[in-house]
Amino acid sequence: MRSITSSRMRAIDANCEYLGLKGLQLMENAGAAIAREVKERIGSGKVIFIAGRGNNGGDAFVAARHLASDPDVTVYIALVGNATRIRTDDARHNFNILKHCNIEGITEITDASQLKKKGWIDDADIIVDALLGTGISGKLREPESTVIDMINDSDKQVIAVDVPSGFDPDGGDIDKAVIADITLTFHEMKTGLTTSLAREYTSEVKVVNIGVCTDAERYVGSGDLKVLQKRHADSHKGNSGRILIIGGGPYSGAPALAAMAALRTGADIVTVAAPASVAGTIASYSPNIIVRPLSSDVLCEEDVGTIAELITSHDVVVIGMGLGRAERTKTAISKIIPFCKKVVVDADGLYGIELPVPEDTTMIITPHAGEFRSLGGHGADDVQAFSRENGPTVLLKGKEDTISNGERVAINSTGNAGMTVGGTGDVLAGISGALFATSSPMEAACCAAFINGAAGDLAFEDKGYGLLATDVIDRITDVMK
Ligand SMILES: NC(=O)C1=CN([C@@H]2O[C@H](COP(=O)(O)OP(=O)(O)OC[C@H]3O[C@@H](n4cnc5c(N)ncnc54)[C@H](O)[C@@H]3O)[C@@H](O)[C@H]2O)[C@H](O)CC1
Ligand SMILES: [K+]
């Protein structure tokens, strides 16, 4: 079954905002679905909403409002935390409306004993667990932890909102979580809820459509980037990646462009392994690049040992640009790939790889239409099947880029006709390599396509059709800040 991670969901949420679909609209749909589930299960009786201070709680405030107008349902709300510390505008907005609704009781608790004293849990016919959703982070704190015990110690029916509170939506280890009869999860199944562990915390999971617009999922947007930047911001210096670029031979500029792009994208170290004939030229382009000369005037089998050694001290390999297509170069490429854990294959490199991707290698390929055809691909409508059959995440460049890892297909619409100038493909490969050090191949490929195109759009604003690949590199940081 298809499922998504919490970071993917946050990207979709942000893409919705970017496209004009407000989080409040999604929350209203989420809350309405919870209200319907409560009504279906109890018909008439008492419901207690146990709400956190994030949007998970916000969903509960919406559901409470919907049920408050039902004469057969009595509504109680326990907010875990002070209302003044509700963390999001959407949740606060829906909390503030509750004073105009027929709610039997609302209380703010900062200690679990206050909830016990109220006796609302014992009195309820059903509990809605809206304490923590996909925003959980770190070990459970108090009073949430004890409140979860109270929910589990009651013999009441429990509906969990999005995920059982305390449960890791991405499937990681947990110390404690609500045990629910049903979990209403929004938009898409969460990866963690597909695991066998999930069965211990929820007897049933229902995926609820909350009206997310399809482009928010299909198109790469600034939301995808935000998730990436958050991860980069959280990572400390030194683990933003060491990138090995294997390129050059007939050409010297291509690997240098890829190297500079990788550095601008935030890689810590970039090494270019290039044939001796062009190594000096590449080194002369910038003191920021470490250059390791190879044996001859093109990449050849004699270089495989040196490169295998270099690969061990780098996180990602980017191979192809400027290598040329000599038979001995193609042979060398096919021998190098199995040494790579993470590899981006671009340009001439695509003529030397053998598919399917070797067992322990994760690969991104960045072909244009012609290179994709030479690999046996047809066009944009074939990218997902090609990826599924052959293994690599495919970033098929075009007026719109099509990206797929075999499970999902994304489209990138940033970029412009000025970017047909030579070298922008090298820049894209360098960005992809840098992001791949700290992201999944799909996230890296999607965000690289978005960043490269968006930087190209900024360059087009300044330089029009005179834009150069170096202008694109100079604007990567503007797009990523
Ligand atoms: N498109 C959608 O998926 C929608 C999702 N909705 C709901 O929003 C939540 C995610 O909301 P968020 O504000 O990001 O986080 P949470 O409410 O899940 O939790 C944050 C809340 O919890 C506290 N907290 C975090 N970790 C801990 C911990 N270890 N111990 C104690 N407390 C913790 C934190 O301080 C915050 O107060 C999603 O699940 C959906 O339910 C939207 O409403 C609709 C669209
Ligand atoms: K929950």
What CA–CA distance (Å, rounded) separates 150 from 398?
A: 56
56 alpha carbon – ligand 2 mean position (Å): 6
Strand 393-396 relative to strand 401-404: parallel, antiparallel, unpaired?
antiparallel
From residue 469, alpha-carbon distances to 210, 370, 424, 428, 448 in Å are 42, 21, 5, 10, 15
Which pLDDT belongs to residue 121?
96
For residue 333 the two structure tokens come to 């490429």
259 alpha carbon – ligand 2 mean position (Å): 45
Site of tokens 């617009």: 213
Ligand 1 pocket test: pick from 56, 85, 178, 210 the residue with the most ligand atoms within 8 Å of its Cβ. 56
57 alpha carbon – ligand 2 mean position (Å): 8
Q: What ligand is nearest to the CA atom of residue 55?
A: 1
Which pLDDT belongs to residue 236?
62
C-beta neighbour count of 29 within 10 angstroms:
17
What CA–CA distance (Å, rounded) separates 34 from 180?
A: 14
Which pLDDT belongs to residue 229?
76
Q: What ligand is nearest to the CA atom of residue 56?
A: 1
Using omega within 30 degrees of 0 as the cis cutoff, is the peptide bond preceding 356 cis?
yes
Rounded to a whole number of angstroms, the CA Rg of the chain reads 26
Of 212, 221, 133, 207, which Cα lies nearest the Cα of 177?
A: 133
For residue 164 the two structure tokens come to 């059982």
For residue 385 the two structure tokens come to 């099947």
What CA–CA distance (Å, rounded) separates 383 from 396?
A: 7
Ligand 1 closest atom vs CA 87: 37
Of 207, 208, 194, 199, which Cα lies nearest the Cα of 180?
A: 199
* Angle of CA points 209, 212, 213, to nearest 5°: 135
Pocket of ligand 1 (CB under 6 A): 9, 13, 26-27, 30, 52-59, 87-88, 132-141, 144, 161-162, 186-187, 210
Q: Regarding the domain delimited by 232-480, which CATH topology (the fold level of the hierarchy) does it fall under?
A: UDP-N-acetylmuramoyl-L-alanine:D-glutamate ligase (3.40.1190)
Domain boundary assignment for the chain: 6-218, 232-480
Strand 269-274 relative to strand 290-293: parallel, antiparallel, unpaired?
parallel
Which pLDDT belongs to residue 86?
98
Ligand 1 pocket test: pick from 16, 27, 134 the residue with the most ligand atoms within 8 Å of its Cβ. 134
- Our CA dihedral for 400, 209, 385, 348, rounded to 10 degrees, sits at 40
CA contacts within 13 A on the Cβ side of 222: 12
Asked if residue 353 belongs to a known ligand binding site, the reply is no
For residue 228 the two structure tokens come to 């990436």
Asked if residue 175 belongs to a known ligand binding site, the reply is no
Strand 269-274 relative to strand 242-246: parallel, antiparallel, unpaired?
parallel
165 alpha carbon – ligand 1 mean position (Å): 9
405 alpha carbon – ligand 1 mean position (Å): 28
Asked if residue 162 belongs to a known ligand binding site, the reply is yes
What CA–CA distance (Å, rounded) separates 196 from 72?
A: 37
| H/E segment holding residue 287 | none
- pLDDT digit string (tens) for the chain, length 481 residues: 789 989 889 999 999 998 999 999 999 999 999 999 999 999 999 999 999 999 999 999 999 999 999 999 999 999 999 999 999 999 999 999 999 999 999 999 999 999 999 999 999 999 999 999 999 999 999 999 999 999 999 999 999 999 999 999 999 999 999 999 999 999 999 999 999 999 999 999 999 999 999 999 999 998 898 877 777 677 665 678 999 999 999 899 999 999 999 999 999 999 999 999 999 999 999 999 999 999 999 999 999 999 999 999 999 999 999 999 999 999 999 999 999 999 999 999 999 999 999 999 999 999 999 999 999 999 999 999 999 999 999 999 999 999 999 999 999 999 999 999 999 999 999 999 999 999 999 999 999 999 999 999 999 999 999 999 999 999 999 999 8
Contact between 217 and 15 under an 8 Å Cβ cutoff? The reply is: yes
Contact between 75 and 42 under an 8 Å Cβ cutoff? The reply is: no
Which pLDDT belongs to residue 238?
61
Contact between 111 and 143 under an 8 Å Cβ cutoff? The reply is: yes
What CA–CA distance (Å, rounded) separates 29 from 376?
A: 44
- For atom 19 of ligand 1, the residue with the nearest CA is 135
Which pLDDT belongs to residue 235?
67
216 alpha carbon – ligand 1 mean position (Å): 20
Asked if residue 271 belongs to a known ligand binding site, the reply is no
C-beta neighbour count of 302 within 10 angstroms:
12
Fold match between 6-218 and 232-480? Answer: no
Ligand 1 pocket test: pick from 34, 132, 217 the residue with the most ligand atoms within 8 Å of its Cβ. 132
ipTM score for this prediction: 0.95
CATH H superfamily, domain 6-218: YjeF N-terminal domain (3.40.50.10260)
In three-state secondary structure terms, 319 is: strand
